[in-house]
Each structure stands twice: as structure tokens, then as C-alpha cells.
Structure 1
Amino acid sequence: MTNWHPNIPEGQGPLYIRLADKIAEDIATGALAAGAKLPPQRDLAYDLGVTVGTIGRAYAVVRQRGLVSGEVGRGTYVLGSPVAPALLEDTKPNLDQASGDGIGARQTAAQMTSWVQGAMATPKDIAFSGTRITVPAPESIRFDSTSAPEIGQAEAIRDLTAQITRDAPYEIASYTRSVPESWREAGKTWLSRKNWEPSAGSIVPTTGAQAAIMAAIAATTAPGDQIAFEDLTYSSIARGASLSGRRPVQVASDDQGPLPEDLARICAQKHPKVLFLMPTMHNPTTGTMGADRREQIVTIARQYNLWIIEDEVYGSLRNADVLPFAALAPERTFHVGSLSKAVTAGVRGGWVSSPVSHAQRIYTAHKMLTGGISFLLSELSARLVLSGAADTFRENVLAEIAARHELVQQYLRNFDLVSAPDAPFLWLKVPEPWLSGTFKAAAATSNVLIDDEDEFKSGRSGKVYHRVRIGITNPHTREETAKGLLILRNLLDDSGAGYDSFE
């Protein structure tokens, strides 16, 4: 047992992350030597005046980083100091020192290959020039992504790419300085719903949906402005907004989306400029906002001059009857879609239907933020849509999702989960005594990667859901999906594993 007692540094990040960073720092400096036993979680929680859950999350983080190991009935022990940057520079191969005859270069390249393969053999954090980069194990089952499943897209992409390289060699070799009308027509086609169609003049092609959303934020706000988010949402947008100097503010929500009364209160008190929504197949809850709630939000947005960003990335998978916000309030709505969930993620094809007054601003902001769109990828995205291949792939993707949804029902039907046959993910409530963070860490030790609820919180929140999101489309096969679901079910059934079992 060690007498180690950490002083948790001040900061704005979650307490358990700052504690985990302090543990890592003390291991690196030798304050916690290899083989040292960390204090029992309950004891350390009492000493620091925090909850046991906070300590458990911190211990889970350092276990995931490969810094400690937990042994049932014995405790949590330090494995050893992470490789210091200086030592890493000494031990990794140096290609610049290869001998001129080529033999040394080949030997050094082989050493580099061995070093990289060794680094990727197991999940770990690699120290590199003072930065930690998490490298998942190659055999990990990736339930932490919802990209479109592989259903044979490669052949069509190969053929279309060959056509483009033949038809437009100059455009591929140069920067993209204009937007062909076919790209706008493809965006209009892809974003259209059975009850709404955007105008071609409103369409701006983008490098995926996230770039489109960040361009809309840049075009409508300035650093210091506030942006309203549901308390649960695609948090990468909230984090990206913070990184660009905007300030996220949380709006209380239910299964229909933001609560109108709380949105009105936030608008009156904090005056946000933009509201970010995922109204059709909300991430992570799978819900779709009803028509009445949409009308209420539009009324509030007009009253307080609030821009609306409507993220319809998952909406391309759902045949919803409700009108999109872009139809209800076209003068203030940025309607965003992409190919990533319904066709293919790697092509990075996306579009935004903007209020016509702001289309040029979106184009300029997107170019400033990303360096501009790729002709090859944008042309490929347009041809996928206009040829009808994208619609065919969407149908096949939906069929594959439905088949994997049946596996979910087979393995997890006895648990509290929210799912749908058209949704590439499910929202699972972990049974007591699991916490979402400790369940995520336990799954990771079994080489199954999932997202806990904190991944979807737009800011610090005392609200606890005890849920995890499990994406089912990223594993290569249904067999791999079934294997991962079985591992998770066994963990869920092992209720004792949810307790503080490493003391």
C-alpha cells in the first residue's frame, strides 16, 4: 500500500479526468513507482471529499491508458512509467541516420515497422513528443462509430472514380475554385424529402456534415456568442464551437427535443445566436421530434431572432412525415446532410441548404475553415447521387441495419434499450450497479469499444442517464456484430463486475 495522496489540479475539465491526469503525471515522475498499489477507491473518495464513482472513473481511465492493472480481490497496481518523450526519441528508429548504401535504410525501415506494429498490438496510449495518442487494438470491435456499413460500395466508387479521372484530369490536378451546377443539383436531390425540396440556389457543397455545421456557426456568430444545444446531443459540435471561441449553453430536453419553455428562458436570459438540433433520428436517443414541438421552436426562434442548424445526417435514413425546419422556417434554418450514414463515410460528401441570403457566406466560411473542397470527392459525391447509386446504397444500408437490429433483439432484448430498425445505434441503460463510464471501461478491456453518456453531453451536467450508445454498423460483418453484442450481454449479466471489484 502506498501513502500517495494526490493534489488534484484546478481546471475546467471533469474532475475524474484531472485526477486521472494527476495519476499519470505521478507515475511518469516516479511519485508512484511500478508495482505500487493505488488507494482503495472508497478510501480515496473519502480523503478527497468526492464520490466513489468519480474515483472509479479516474481509475478506469488510467487502466484504459495502460498505466495500471486491476486484479479482483487484490487492488489496482501501477504497471510502470510511460515512455518519456526523450526516451522515445532515443529508442524509436531514426530514418535520417540511415546509411547511404541503402542497407541501413532498409534495416531502419524494418525497425520502424516493428516499432509501430508493437505499439499497435494492444490498446494503449503512446507518448509522443509530450502528447498521448490512443491506439485501439486491431482486434477491437468498434461499436463507437455509426458510419455506413460496408455493403459493396467499393466497386461503384472505383468505377465512378475512374470515369472522373478520365473526364476531368485538369480539375483533379488543380484547386477547386468554382461549384459546378451538378454539385448543387446533387445536394438538392439528396437533401429533399417527400414533403420538402430545397432550392438549388440555397445549396452549398461541403466536406461532410461537420464542416458544414462549423461553417454555419462561423457565418452567423462571433467569438463570445452563445450557441444553444440540447443537454444530450452530438457533442463534437459543442466542443468545436468552444474551440472556436463560442460558448455552448444547455437547454433542457425530453424525448421530443428541447423543452420550449426552457428554450424561451435561455433565449431571454442568455441571448444565444444559434440553436443546434438533430430533430430526425436524434443522436443518441433515436427519437424524432413531432410537428407540434417543431412549430413551438420555430415560434421562439422568430421571437428571439435565433438561427437554427438542422443536422439531418441520420434523417437520411428515416422516412419521417414531419416537415423539416427548413420548410417551416427557411429564412433562418441551415439544413445539413451528408452521405456518411446512408451511403459511405470515406467519401466525405455533404451539403447544406442555407437561407439564400447566407449561401455565399457559408461557402466562404467553409473554404476558410477547411481550405476548400476536393474536386475529386465532391464530383464523386455528386455522381453517386445523380446516378441513383446513392439511393440504392441507402436501401441496402437500411436492410443491413435492420438485420443487425435483429441481432440486437436477440442478445439485448431483456435490457432497457431504445432502438429502431432504421437506426445504426441503440441507447442502452446499464443495470445497477453499473455506471456508464465503468461499463465503457469494462467493455474496452474486452476489446469492445462503446460510447458512454458523457460523450453526448453538450456541457457539464449533473443529470445522469446511466446509458451507453452502441453503434452497430461499423463492424465488418454480422458475425463480428454478434460477437460484440454477446460480450456486452455477458458483462451486463455479470452484475458483480459493476461494483468496486478491484479493491
Structure 2
Amino acid sequence: MTNWHPEIPEGQGPLYLRLADRISEDIATGTLAAGSKLPPQRDLAYDLGVTVGTIGRAYATIRQRGLVSGEVGRGTFVLGSAPTAPLAEDSKPDLDRDSSQPAAAPPSGSEGPSWVQAAMMVPKDIAFSGTRISVPAPEAIRFDSTSAPEIGQAAVIGPLVAEISQEKPHEIASYTRSVPDSWRQAGRKWLARSGWQPPEGSIVPTTGAQAAIMSIIAATTAPGDQIAFEDLTYSSISRGSALTGRRPVQVARDDEGPLPDDLARVCAQKHPKVLFVMPTMHNPTLGLMGQRRREEIAAVARQNNLWIIEDEVYGSLRDTDLAPFAFLVPERTFHVGSLSKSVTAGVRGGWVSSPLSHAQRVYTAHKMLTGGVSFLLSELSARLVLSGAADEFRGKIRDEIAARHELVRHYLRGHDLIASPDSPFLWLKVPEPWLSGTFKAAAASAGVLIDDEDEFKSGRSGTVYHRVRIGVTNPLTREETAKGLGILQSLLADNGACYDSFE
């Protein structure tokens, strides 16, 4: 046990963040050495005169930053800033080992966190990190993913792959150097909605939606340029843009999306080049942007020469008559869709409908960033769409999502949650005295992985929602889904009486 005793820095912002920053600083300067055990949360709370919840959230934050490891029953230990030497091949952890067999003993004289945990930790770098467990236990119930559920896609995909292999052996063996017209037609069909269809020549096939969005950012901005995000959003894009030298800026939002007045203020003060939005099904709040709000945002974009990235990956699951931004401001909207949520994630099929002025630039940027699309996967995606199989899968997946929401209603009734039978996730408010980070840690200790609110913040924010996102589509069966929801139900009923033990 270390004799370390921190002082919470003065200033603005939540106490837990200021304390987390102080702990991070002490680790960086060596005041807290690798292997040091931090004080128990209850003891430190007493010493500092704050609540146990404040300490719990600070510890959760530094754990998410990759600076410490927490072991139930043992405590919280400081990790090394970097591995001292590569592991010898025969000393690397066997991730395929039967979990029923005892683990290998640690090297003699080892202290602090287990050698397996320490070896698997990656040095913290905010640009490369999120709040998710990087190497989850294989038996964990994954409510931290929203990929399309398994409904028998392989029975259709297998014969299609065989068919493509027989018909196009040379194309499969070589690099993809051109885009067949059928791939573009598939993109036009899949992205069409609410009476709008992408124009001829606007479609760029991509390796999924995230690669598409990063390619758009590369094609429309330069390092140092600013990109506007809602303060709560799919933060992998904001982190990815920061990794490439762009600077994310936050725009205030409400239940419909970005506030037009605040977007106008941000444009006037910071001059962002791009706005990223999810208008039809916002992740994680499930929000739907109304027509008037869309028109107001479109007007701000025109006035400020702002590109719009319209992410409709989840929107493909929701029926709506609302006109997309690609219809309202086609000259400055990049409309993005994929098969990952409504057909199958493993095929990595995606498309962009680009302003005609930038379609070739997006295609080139995607090729330079990713090496180009896979012929097999792109051809497979196109055939799924053009044959009608993708629409059939989408219908079955929507039925499966609705069935799993019946389980949600059973296990989580009475709790404050935002849910919809067409959404692969829900947005749950945790009751007092839970914090989203400590509830996530408790769920992980019980074998269920969920996302806390920090996973979706595009930057530092003083806004606290006390909510977690729970995805219901990744478990293989409804039975597994029910099991995970039952575990969360028990944690919620426990009312967090002992959550400070989840170090």
C-alpha cells in the first residue's frame, strides 16, 4: 500500500475528473510508481472528504485511460508506462487456453497487477483509446456492440461467395482497380430513402461506414482543420479525426440533434469545415431529427460553407418520411450507409453518396487510407442488395430486434430508459447512487459488457447524463440476451450499495 495522498486541484469541472487528472499526473511524474496499489476507495473518500462515488468514478476514469488495473478483491494497481521488453514467445498469455484450467503461475517475485494483465495492457494514448475493454473475456455477454444479429445470413452468403469465386476467379486473385456499375447501382438502391435517391455518379463503395467517413474527412479537410460534433455522439469518429490531426469541436444538442443557434456560434467562432450528424437514429440517444430542425441545420451549413456528413447506418432500420440532408443540401452533403446494423457486419459493405464535385476525391482518399475495397466483399454486398436478399434480412432483423425489446420491457420495466423496437440499443438512466462508469464496472465484473456515457462524448464535458448504452443484438440468442438483462436487473435492484468494491 502506498502512502500517497493527493490533493484535488482547484478549478472548474467535476471533482472526479480533477482527481483523475491529478492521479494521471502523479503516475506520469513517477510519484506513483508502477505496481503501486492505490488506497481503497472508501479510505480515500474519507481522507479527502468526498463521496465514495467520486473516488469510484475517478478510479474508473484512470482505468479507462489505461493507467491502472483493477482486480476485484485485490485493489487498484498502477501499470507500467510501457513494457520493459517484448515477451518471449513461450511467455505470452495463451488466450485460447481452456478457462476451466488454472492459469500459469506468475514469475517469482512479481508484485502488483497480474503479469498477464500487465503484459496485455497498451500504453495509454488518448488518440488510440476508448472506454471499452480492449480484450474482453470470451465468455462475457457483449452488450457493448450493435452489429446485426445472426439470423441465418450464412445460408445465403455461402452460396453467393461460391458463385462469385466460380464466376470471377481473376478478380478475386487480383487488386480491385475499377468499380463495376453494379456496385454503384447497389449503393443507389441501398441508400435511397423518403423519396430521395442518390444521383448517378455520386456513389463510392467503401469498406464499411467508418472507413467511408474517415475518407470523407481526409477529402474535405487538412490537418489543423476543425470538425463539429454533437457533444454526445459516435465518438470513434471524433477520436479518429483527432488521430489524423483534425480538431474536434463540440456543438450543444437536444433530443433532436445539434442546436442551430449553437452551431452558428461555433461556425462564427471556430470555422469548422465539416459537421457530423446522425439524424434518423442518433447513437446513443435514439433521437430523431425533425424536418424543421433539418432545414435549420441545412441553412446554417449553406451560410457557413459547411460540409455535412450524414451517418445513416442506424437510420436504415427506421422508417421515416423525413427528407435526408442529401436531399436538402445535396451540394454539400455526404450520405453514408452500410450493411453492418441491418444485414451483416462481417461483410463490411458500405457506400457514400457524395456531392458530384467530390466523388472522385472520396474514392481516391478511401483507396489511399485503406488500400482499396475487397473485390469479393464489394461484389458480395452488391449482390445481396440487388437480389433483394439484403432487404429480406433487414425485415427479419427488425423482427428480431423487436422480439429482444420484449425482453428489455420484461427485465428493465420501471426503469428510466429510452428504447424503440427498431433500435439495436437502448439508453438507460442508472438510479441513485450509481454513476455510469461505476455501473459499467460492476456489470463487467458480473460478466456483462456495456458502454457508459463517456464512450460517446466527443470531448471533455461537464454534462453528466448518468446513462449507459445497452446493445441487444450482439448476443447469439435471445436466451443469452435474457441472461445478460437479468444480471443488469439484479445490479439495478442492488441499488449500488456496495459498488465501491468494484475497483
TM-score under structure 1 length normalisation = 0.86
Partner of 2:75: 77
* 2:62 aligned with 1:93: no
Cα offsets for 1:363-417 (capped at 9, x unmatched): 0111111111111111111011011110010000000000001000011121000
Q: What are the equivalent positions in structure 2 for 1:4-403 lying under 5 Å apart? A: 4-5=4-5, 29=33, 32=36, 40-43=43-46, 45-46=48-49, 53-60=53-60, 67-71=69-73, 77=75, 85-86=83-84, 89-90=87-88, 92-93=89-90, 114=94, 116-117=96-97, 125-128=117-120, 131=123, 134-403=134-403
Cα offsets for 1:111-152 (capped at 9, x unmatched): x78565279999974525964883211110000000000000
Counterparts of 1:276 and 1:115 in 2: how far apart (Å)?
Answer: 38
Matched AA of 1:40: D
Change (3 A) 1:179 1:16: farther
What stretches of structure 2 of length at least 5 have no aligned partner? 10-15, 104-113, 125-132
By how many angstroms is 1:62 displaced? 7.2
By how many angstroms is 1:502 displaced? 6.9
Check the 8 A contact 2:34/2:81 in 1, yes or no. Answer: no
Check the 8 A contact 1:38/1:77 in 2, yes or no. Answer: no
**Secondary structure at 2:276 match in 1:** strand
Counterparts of 1:247 and 1:63 in 2: how far apart (Å)?
Answer: 25
Matched AA of 2:189: T
What stretches of structure 1 of length at least 5 have no aligned partner? 95-111
**Secondary structure at 1:461 match in 2:** coil
Check the 8 A contact 1:203/1:353 in 2, yes or no. Answer: yes
Cα offsets for 1:277-325 (capped at 9, x unmatched): 0000110111110000001111111111111100000010001110000
**Secondary structure at 2:119 match in 1:** strand
By how many angstroms is 1:264 displaced? 1.0
Q: Which moved more, 1:15-24 or 1:425-434?
A: 15-24
By how many angstroms is 1:67 displaced? 3.6
TM-score under structure 2 length normalisation = 0.86
- CA RMSD in angstroms, aligned pairs only: 3.2
Q: What is the aligned-residue identity percentage?
A: 67
Change (3 A) 1:464 1:187: same
Partner of 1:100: none
By how many angstroms is 1:194 displaced? 3.7
Partner of 2:429: 429
* 2:479 aligned with 1:484: no
Partner of 1:495: 495
Counterparts of 1:410 and 1:205 in 2: how far apart (Å)?
Answer: 41
Check the 8 A contact 1:225/1:246 in 2, yes or no. Answer: yes
Counterparts of 1:392 and 1:461 in 2: how far apart (Å)?
Answer: 41
**Secondary structure at 2:415 match in 1:** coil
Change (3 A) 1:30 1:277: closer
Cα offsets for 1:438-486 (capped at 9, x unmatched): 0000000001000000111111100010000000000000000001001
Check the 8 A contact 2:442/2:502 in 1, yes or no. Answer: no
Counterparts of 1:27 and 1:162 in 2: how far apart (Å)?
Answer: 60
By how many angstroms is 1:89 displaced? 2.2
**Secondary structure at 2:432 match in 1:** coil
Partner of 2:129: none
By how many angstroms is 1:275 displaced? 0.7
Counterparts of 1:177 and 1:372 in 2: how far apart (Å)?
Answer: 8
Q: Which moved more, 1:442-451 or 1:218-227?
A: 218-227
By how many angstroms is 1:499 displaced? 5.5
Change (3 A) 1:304 1:498: farther
Change (3 A) 1:151 1:451: same
